[in-house]
Amino acid sequence: MIVCQNLSKSYPMGHGRKHVLRDLSLRVNPADKIALLGRNGAGKSTFIKLLGGVELPTSGTIRRTMSISWPLGFNGGFQGSLTGYDNARFIARIYGKPYDWMKDFIEDFTELGRQLNMPVKTYSSGMRARLAFGLSLAIDFDCYLIDEIILVGDANFREKCHYELFERRKDRTLILASHDMGAIRDFCNRAVVFRDGQATETDDVARAIEEYERL
């Protein structure tokens, strides 16, 4: 379970502060699939970063009783100058997983072949997505934080993600920031709409999508 209470996040901007999130409270239950909806800059990614512990809230608390992945997005979590294998080894070490197994898993999942011997900074965003996803699936978290990243892959990758996340790991929790309404309609059971720093939470995903489309 993840319990967020009265989360606020603001950044210094000029002489004042920009309030990205105000007073957000949310309770995430096991096996929830939560969609985060909102326009660019509405605070979805910031919320994901707070959940993942990448940044700390300006006020409010987050209590986590399940293991949460790092935010899977376009950047972060990698060292660009290291190769794919080195990054995998690093992740295996800090999460205490056997590297041999991890190596086999990502070779199989990412299908990047010899490219894994190249520095990650030479990867395209689709390739990065494959690696990030492969690594986090190898760790096996209770909850996955996904920041748009499923969308960048090709058909084959999307199919794989779909299988790994929505079939093999149905019982896991998913928090998904996305503009792909099709995927959200199909898989999510709850939605949070972000607007002017306020977040409204609902169980009616179809209505949340309507609301988002009117934004």
Partner 1 sequence: MSSVKPSRLRQGLKVQGRVIHALIIRELITRFGRENIGFLWMMVEPLLFAGLVAIIWRMMRGSEEHGVSIVAFVVTGYIPLTLFRHVVGRSVAIFQANSSLMYHRQIQILDFVIVRFLIEMLGTMMAFVFIATILICFDAFPIPADPGLMIAGWLVYCAFSFSLCLMIAPLSEMSEVLEKFLPVTTYIMIPFSGSFTMVSWLSPGLRQYILWSPFVNGVEMMRGGIWGEHLVVYYDVWYPLGVSMIFSAIGLVLIRRVRRKIVVE
Two structure tokens written together for 213:
């489309």
191 DSSP β-pair partners? 35, 202
Quick one: 27 or 93, whose CB is closer to partner 1? Answer: 93
Q: Interface residues for partner 1 in 169-208 (CB under 8 A)?
A: none
Q: 200 near 21, Cβ under 8 Å?
A: no
One residue of 22, 49, 160, 190 binding partner 1 per CB under 8 A: 49
Q: How far is the CB of 68 from partner 1 (least distance, A)?
A: 8
Interatomic CA distance for residues 101 and 215, integer angstroms: 46
Quick one: 17 or 170, whose CB is closer to partner 1? Answer: 17
Is residue 101 at the binding interface for partner 1, with CB under 8 A as the rule?
Answer: no
Q: 138-164: buried (b, 16+ CB within 10 Å) or exposed (e) per residue?
A: bbebbbbbbbbbbebbeeebeebbeee
Interatomic CA distance for residues 194 and 13, integer angstroms: 21
Quick one: 36 or 191, whose CB is closer to partner 1? Answer: 36
Quick one: 95 or 187, whose CB is closer to partner 1? Answer: 95
Residues in touch with partner 1 (CB under 8 A):
11, 49, 52-56, 58, 68, 70-71, 75-79, 81-82, 86, 89-91, 93-96
